[in-house]
Amino acid sequence: MQTLSIVIPAYNEERFIGRLLEQIKAVDLEPLGLQPDILVVDDCSKDRTAEIVAAV
């Protein structure tokens, strides 16, 4: 199975990041022979972005 890497840059995205990650995780890539590898790059957000990413 191949890996599909998804890189998400984020800065103060607490309003959207949780929903985005849940939507990405809900996509079934197995029929395509792909396994997702999600990397969120937090650029020193001043909100709860990192906390939300860690919880998802």
Contacts of 15 (CB under 8 A, 6+ apart): none
Each residue's pLDDT tens digit, 2-56: 999 999 999 999 999 999 999 999 999 999 999 999 999 999 999 999 999 999 9
Q: What is the pLDDT of residue 2?
A: 97
Asked if residues 7 and 41 have their Cβ atoms less than 8 Å apart, the reply is yes
Q: What is the pLDDT of residue 9?
A: 98
This prediction's pTM:
0.87
